[in-house]
Amino acid sequence: MRHPHFIPAPDLDPDDRPVPQLDHDPVTGLRWSEPTVPEPAFIMLASFIFDACAQATDSCRVEPDGICEHGHPSWLRRLGVI
């Protein structure tokens, strides 16, 4: 039996919009490669921090603040979170 005040979660949170992305490394000024995979949902980005393993913008696995061997930063780094 459902709780009388149960409201199902929507498929897409309206506040879960893509945020502006950095296109270069703020420290070195070097440009990063363009992402080859879509930006993950917010909940996935949050899990990268807790799992200490993140997805790069080309889907390689990297540390949350890492850059893969192909020159793609983690999504957290590209989005300016780290």
Average pLDDT over residues 9-19: 58
Q: What SS3 state is found at 75?
A: helix
Rounded to whole angstroms, how far apart are CA atoms 44 and 60? 15
pLDDT tens for residues 25-81? 888 899 998 999 999 988 999 999 888 899 999 999 999 999 999 999 999 999 988
14 in any annotated domain: no
13-17, 19-23, 30-34: least confidently modelled range: 13-17
51 in any annotated domain: yes
One-character DSSP codes across 53-73: -EEBTTS-EE-TT-B-TTSPB
Among 70, 77, 80, which residue's Cα sits nearest to residue 33? 70
pTM here is 0.74
pLDDT at 26: 86
**Structural domain of residue 60, as residue ranges?**
21-82
9 in any annotated domain: no
7 in any annotated domain: no
